């Protein structure tokens, strides 16, 4: 099995990620997050929010609607320019992204090299929905980027809070794209979560460039801080012809995935493109000066981040599979075991500890099989610490804590456990 197969299989077997609508054969480009997946995903979002909103004085958050007045997409340029060039196979009418050389070549092989292609046509990737009760129904769109929800609320945020330029508006939420070639597990989906910051600055070339560089570094360091190996990350500047219609310039943070260097997150200098198109300005209360702010954007995908965190954390040690996730991201922080299932006094003590830890940490309980198997099962889902209650615990109120990556054990007093894990988690 190659690494992607191992990750896909682990994700399904242990309840991280399931194919969407699987009992009906799945639905390409859609995925469901299971009991452990939702925890990992929420932890990624929480860490992002903590670093982008709570730890800063100049950023506030919003949560805008997924469906917006269709005028938004006209003004934002998406109806005209949110397109991918697509070619159609004249033999079987399957469609592919024109610039996806690998998919095009693979398809030609299916027809023994005899595939003939139509000219490339522009294909709009906004997902259409029909609303209303009278015919014809009104056509609207599921948002293709969460970003426009920030711009249409720019004035509301300025008027309702005390933000002053430079400041940012952060948001996490669902976006939808009618992708021509979804794939590489959850890397390219039709429905996905984005986590974005729109940072509004004065329209100044040098200053905005400095802020752009600041966010590039800050975002790359965020991934490194959460455990992604630095040598697996790089910046890639977009060539002018590859830039999104709104971008003056753009850099991707890329990850060296098993399927090649791939976009993790985009940092975009959007200039005044969006606010100008929506007819919005900002007035400096002190100088009275009115201007259209420029926007530096950091735009990451939650599903993609989760996939790369899983890939990067995956390790094998003989038979043992270990997800070396940063504990802040781990679905369970602690697992509690009674050494033996059939000794009521051990089970009772372990249940007490379990209930107490659960108040502060997502805690797992396991009393099946032998201790070694329980450790293996927790290693495979990234639980950083296992607590075992043994006979000594009944005498001296201590337990063993076993650490995931080193498999080292130490004895800790039961009444110090919460403090211990709080310290470890920072």
- Interaction site with ligand GAP (CB under 6 A): 145, 147, 177, 179, 188-189, 192, 194, 196, 263, 265-266, 297, 299-301, 303-304
Are 361 and 334 in contact by the 8 Å Cβ rule? The answer is yes
CB of 264 to ligand GAP, least distance (A): 6
> In the bound complex, which residue of the shown chain has the CB atom lying closest to ligand GAP?
301
Are 63 and 157 in contact by the 8 Å Cβ rule? The answer is no
CB of 201 to ligand GAP, least distance (A): 17
Residue placing its CB nearer to ligand GAP in the complex, 300 or 327: 300
CB of 174 to ligand GAP, least distance (A): 11
Residue 292 has, within 13 A of its CA and on its CB side, a CA count of 12
Place of tokens 């060039």: 85
* Close Cβ partners of 35 (under 8 Å, ≥ 6 residues apart): 15, 331
CB of 189 to ligand GAP, least distance (A): 4
Residue placing its CB nearer to ligand GAP in the complex, 8 or 147: 147
Length of the chain: 426
Instruction: Calculate the CA dihedral of residues 74, 78, 80, 84 and round it to 10 degrees.
Output: -160
Phi-psi region of 383 (alpha: psi -120 to 50; beta: other; left: phi over 0): beta
Q: What are the C-alpha distances in Å from 293 to residues 117, 166, 281? A: 44, 9, 7
Residue placing its CB nearer to ligand GAP in the complex, 194 or 400: 194
CB of 329 to ligand GAP, least distance (A): 17
CB of 341 to ligand GAP, least distance (A): 43
Residue placing its CB nearer to ligand GAP in the complex, 302 or 353: 302
Residue placing its CB nearer to ligand GAP in the complex, 186 or 383: 186
Residue placing its CB nearer to ligand GAP in the complex, 266 or 382: 266
Residue placing its CB nearer to ligand GAP in the complex, 4 or 425: 4
CA distance 192 to 301: 7
Q: How many CB atoms are closer than 10 A to CB 197? A: 26
Dihedral sign computed on CA atoms, order 132, 134, 135, 136:
negative
* H-helix or E-strand spanning residue 139: strand 138-142
CB of 54 to ligand GAP, least distance (A): 22
CB of 287 to ligand GAP, least distance (A): 30
Residue placing its CB nearer to ligand GAP in the complex, 39 or 193: 193
Question: Among candidates 85, 179, 80, 75, which has minimal Cα distance to 125?
Answer: 179
Question: Among candidates 277, 236, 58, which has minimal Cα distance to 147?
Answer: 277
């Amino acid at each position: 099995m190659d690494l992607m197969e191992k990750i896909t299989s682990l994700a399904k077997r242990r309840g991280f990620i399931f194919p969407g609508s699987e009992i009906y054969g799945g639905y390409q480009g859609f995925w469901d997050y299971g009991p452990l997946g939702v925890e990992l995903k929420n932890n990624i979002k929480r860490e992002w929010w903590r670093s982008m909103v709570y730890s800063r004085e100049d950023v506030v958050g919003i949560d805008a609607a997924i469906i917006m007045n269709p005028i938004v997409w006209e003004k934002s340029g998406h109806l005209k320019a949110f397109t991918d060039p697509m070619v159609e196979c004249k033999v079987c009418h399957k469609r592919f992204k024109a610039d996806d050389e690998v998919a095009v070549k693979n398809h030609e092989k299916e027809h023994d090299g005899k595939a003939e292609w139509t000219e490339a046509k522009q294909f709009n990737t906004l997902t259409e929905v029909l609303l209303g009760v009278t015919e014809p129904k009104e056509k609207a769109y599921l948002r293709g980027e969460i970003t426009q929800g920030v711009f249409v609320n720019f004035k509301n945020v300025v008027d309702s809070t005390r933000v002053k330029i430079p400041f940012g508006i952060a948001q996490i939420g669902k976006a939808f794209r009618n992708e021509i070639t979804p794939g590489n597990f959850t890397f390219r989906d039709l429905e996905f979560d984005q986590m974005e910051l729109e940072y509004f600055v004065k329209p100044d070339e040098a200053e905005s460039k400095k802020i752009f560089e600041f966010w590039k570094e800050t975002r790359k360091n965020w991934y490194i801080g959460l455990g992604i190996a630095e040598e697996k990350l790089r910046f890639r500047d977009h060539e002018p012809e590859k830039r999104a219609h709104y971008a003056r310039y753009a850099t991707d943070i890329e990850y060296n995935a098993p399927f090649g260097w791939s976009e993790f997150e985009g940092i975009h200098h959007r200039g005044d493109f969006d606010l100008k198109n929506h007819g919005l300005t900002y007035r400096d209360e002190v100088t009275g000066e009115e201007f259209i702010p420029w926007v530096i954007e950091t735009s990451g995908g939650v599903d993609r981040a989760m996939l790369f965190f899983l890939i990067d954390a995956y390790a094998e040690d003989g038979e043992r599979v270990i997800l070396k996730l940063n504990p802040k991201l781990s679905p369970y922080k602690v697992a509690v075991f009674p050494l033996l299932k059939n000794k009521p006094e051990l089970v009772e003590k372990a249940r007490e500890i379990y209930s107490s830890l659960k108040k502060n940490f997502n805690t797992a309980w396991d009393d099946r099989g032998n201790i070694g198997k329980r450790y293996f099962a927790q290693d495979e889902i990234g639980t950083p610490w296992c607590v075992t209650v043994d006979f000594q615990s009944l005498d001296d109120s201590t337990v063993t804590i076993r650490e995931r990556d080193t498999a080292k054990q130490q004895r800790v007093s039961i009444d110090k456990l919460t403090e211990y894990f709080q310290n470890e988690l920072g």
